């Protein structure tokens, strides 16, 4: 069922077996999966079912070079799936492996374990099956690639988890969704080291509490870290922050583009043909198939380079002459120009783990008198150099294959100035095998809080280059099975 905290009385105490903080896609997926496993769940969502200015204002904070923290996330049922494009692809095996050239990399669990529930995650997001090989989608197409750079596919479906699953949540006898329930404090019993209660407030002035056997943070990479750091009543450093890792390793997928490209004789926009049988079936289900160029895992190992992907686009409307003139200045000059329709390239990158890129508390307070979040997103000199190397590889591939000539920057710092975030908030509650290298363990339980867990992209210790939501949902469904066992369901 769905209730509104504004309809409750001051001092009311809520209780369930599992309490989930955050009603975004992973919170909803976890609640519904636990309900299917016959576990009673309380899902606490700070917003309502629609965008509300007063509620969204609680998300204001200091973004520095990152941007406005109220536009990078949404405080309403369904979270940021209310304004995403639904672009999805699973992480690769290499993304889970430690490499010397990618410091701080590697997951404490294997890909097959982390994504054991991938099929269910695909179903939850309404995607068109567990198929990711470009050749299987496009059997009659001449795919681009030379072993170093290869063609891959993404699936895309802009599904709002809140809207899509609102009826299922409303009708559930096991899930109680509480809207406008702002969790302001996590209280820990010093004697047991376990969460004892969640303190909740509403903008109407009510103060509530929620208790359970197990607690799960699903409030996103920024808000989850802020809430833990602000919960200092029982632990001065903040809940779960014994090793000073909460909020550190904040990461995003940085992107550059659209970059002007002078088309070559072989230029064609990389769109999936609608008459391909698999693509047609996906389209009938509301799913788009997006073709992209990416560095192969073998090339990543050989070149010691993090992952990236590129979309070749027919710009609409066309670039202005002024933009084109600037773009031509640094072209990779291999092969003559043609008249093909491609006019732009967009490139997305993997960020290296960086403990100095972090979420902390700001001096400014929100409407509840709680400290707001401060985000210091840092791309290192290595990230900048990797961007330059990646685009240089891509530009030479495009020129060598007659697709076109792409501008490349003269310095790594120039690429850093052009990069912007995709709003994938990762890493702040990173998974690690020991308390010294992670906030949560391989079961997503906090190392130093016995009955507290975290889900979502915040727990990713290494990020890959693909959009994270599908992978976060799969990891969340894995947690549901573990929680059901913990509570004896």
| Tens-digit pLDDT profile for residues 347-381 | 999 999 999 999 999 999 999 999 999 999 999 99
CA 376 → CA 86, 224, 330, distances in Å?
26, 16, 31
Note the pLDDT of residue 333. Answer: 39
**Pairwise pLDDT comparison (65 vs 230), residue with the higher score:** 230
Whether 134 and 296 have beta carbons less than 8 Å apart is answered as no
Note the pLDDT of residue 419. Answer: 85
Pairing of strands 207-211, 13-15: parallel
| Tens-digit pLDDT profile for residues 419-446 | 888 889 999 999 999 999 999 999 999 9
Note the pLDDT of residue 489. Answer: 66
| Tens-digit pLDDT profile for residues 132-142 | 888 888 887 77
Note the pLDDT of residue 404. Answer: 83
Q: Which CATH architecture has domain 2-89+109-121+159-252+352-377+423-486?
A: 3-Layer(bba) Sandwich (3.50)
| Tens-digit pLDDT profile for residues 198-220 | 999 999 999 999 999 999 999 99
| Tens-digit pLDDT profile for residues 165-181 | 999 999 999 999 999 99
Q: Where are the domains of the chain?
A: 2-89+109-121+159-252+352-377+423-486
Least-confidence region, from 80-94, 152-166, 261-275, 361-375: 261-275
Note the pLDDT of residue 269. Answer: 66
Residue 316 has pLDDT above 80, yes or no: no
pLDDT band, very low/low/confident/very high, at 336 (cuts 50, 70, 90): very low
Least-confidence region, from 23-27, 192-196, 374-378, 400-404: 400-404
263 burial type by CB count under 10 A (0-12 exposed, 13-18 middle, 19+ buried): buried
For helices 25-36 and 161-171, the axis angle rounded to 10 degrees is 30
**Pairwise pLDDT comparison (56 vs 318), residue with the higher score:** 56
Compute the CA torsion angle 102, 108, 111, 115 (nearest 10 deg).
Answer: -130
The DSSP secondary structure of 296-317, one letter per residue, reads: -HHHHHHHT---EEEEEE--SS
How many Cβ atoms from other residues are within 10 Å of residue 38's Cβ?
12
Residue 340 has pLDDT above 70, yes or no: no
Q: Write a three-state SS string for 154-183.
A: EEECCCCHHHHHHHHHHHCCCEEEEECCEE
| Tens-digit pLDDT profile for residues 300-309 | 999 999 999 9
Name the token pair of 324: 């084109």
Residue 68 has pLDDT above 50, yes or no: yes
| Tens-digit pLDDT profile for residues 188-198 | 999 999 999 99
Give the mean pLDDT of the chain. 89
Residue 325 has pLDDT above 70, yes or no: no
**Pairwise pLDDT comparison (181 vs 80), residue with the higher score:** 181
Note the pLDDT of residue 342. Answer: 64
Whether 29 and 83 have beta carbons less than 8 Å apart is answered as no
Q: Quick one: average pLDDT of 295-319?
A: 83
Least-confidence region, from 111-115, 137-141, 426-430, 461-465: 137-141
Residue 329 has pLDDT above 60, yes or no: no
Note the pLDDT of residue 417. Answer: 81
Q: Quick one: average pLDDT of 21-49?
A: 97
Whole-prediction pTM value? 0.92
CA 251 → CA 114, 142, 247, distances in Å?
19, 36, 10
Residue 455 DSSP SS3:
coil
Distance CA 217, CA 57 (A): 21
Note the pLDDT of residue 196. Answer: 97
């Amino acid at each position: 069922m769905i209730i509104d905290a504004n309809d409750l009385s001051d001092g009311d105490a809520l209780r369930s077996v599992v309490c989930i903080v955050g009603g975004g896609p992973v919170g909803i997926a976890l609640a519904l999966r636990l309900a299917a496993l016959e576990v009673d769940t309380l899902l606490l969502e700070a917003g309502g079912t629609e965008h509300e200015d007063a509620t969204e204002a609680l998300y204001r904070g200091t973004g520095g070079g990152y941007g406005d923290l109220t536009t990078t996330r949404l405080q309403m049922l369904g979270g940021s799936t209310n304004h995403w494009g639904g672009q999805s692809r699973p992480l690769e095996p290499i993304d889970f492996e430690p490499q010397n050239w990618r410091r701080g990399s590697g997951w404490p669990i294997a890909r097959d374990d982390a994504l054991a529930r991938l099929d269910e995650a695909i179903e939850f997001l309404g995607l068109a099956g567990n198929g990711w090989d470009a050749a299987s989608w496009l059997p009659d197409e001449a795919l681009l690639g030379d072993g170093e750079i290869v063609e891959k596919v993404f699936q895309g479906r802009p599904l709002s988890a809140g809207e899509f699953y609102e009826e299922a949540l409303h009708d559930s006898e096991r899930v109680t969704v509480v809207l406008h329930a702002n969790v302001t404090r996590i209280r820990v019993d010093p004697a047991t080291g376990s969460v004892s209660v969640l303190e909740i407030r509403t903008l109407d002035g009510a103060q509530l509490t929620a208790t359970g056997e197990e607690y799960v943070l699903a409030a996103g990479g920024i808000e989850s870290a802020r809430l833990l750091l602000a919960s200092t009543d029982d632990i001065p450093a903040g809940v779960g922050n014994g090793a000073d890792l909460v909020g550190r390793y904040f990461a995003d997928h940085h992107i550059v583009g659209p970059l002007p490209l002078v088309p070559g004789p072989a230029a064609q926009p990389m769109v999936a043909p609608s008459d391909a049988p698999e693509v047609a079936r996906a389209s009938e289900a509301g799913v788009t198939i997006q073709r992209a160029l990416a560095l192969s895992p073998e090339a990543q190992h050989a070149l010691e380079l993090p992952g990236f992907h590129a979309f070749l686009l027919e710009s609409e409307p066309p670039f202005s002459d002024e933009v084109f003139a600037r773009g031509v200045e640094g072209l990779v000059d291999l092969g003559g120009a043609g008249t093909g329709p491609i006019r732009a390239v967009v490139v997305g990158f993997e960020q290296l783990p960086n403990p100095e890129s972090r979420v902390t508390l700001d001096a400014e307070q929100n409407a509840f008198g709680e400290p707001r979040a401060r985000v210091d997103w840092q791309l290192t000199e290595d990230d900048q150099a990797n961007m330059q190397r990646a685009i240089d590889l891509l530009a030479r591939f495009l020129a060598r294959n007659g697709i076109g000539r792409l501008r490349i920057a003269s310095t790594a710092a120039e690429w850093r100035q052009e990069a912007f975030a995709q709003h994938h908030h990762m890493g702040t509650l990173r998974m690690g095998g020991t308390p010294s290298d992670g906030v949560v363990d391989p079961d997503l339980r906090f190392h130093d809080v016995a009955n507290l867990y975290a889900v979502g992209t915040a727990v990713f210790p290494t990020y890959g280059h693909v959009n994270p939501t599908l992978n976060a949902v799969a990891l969340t469904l894995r947690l549901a099975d573990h929680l059901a066992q913990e509570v004896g369901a």
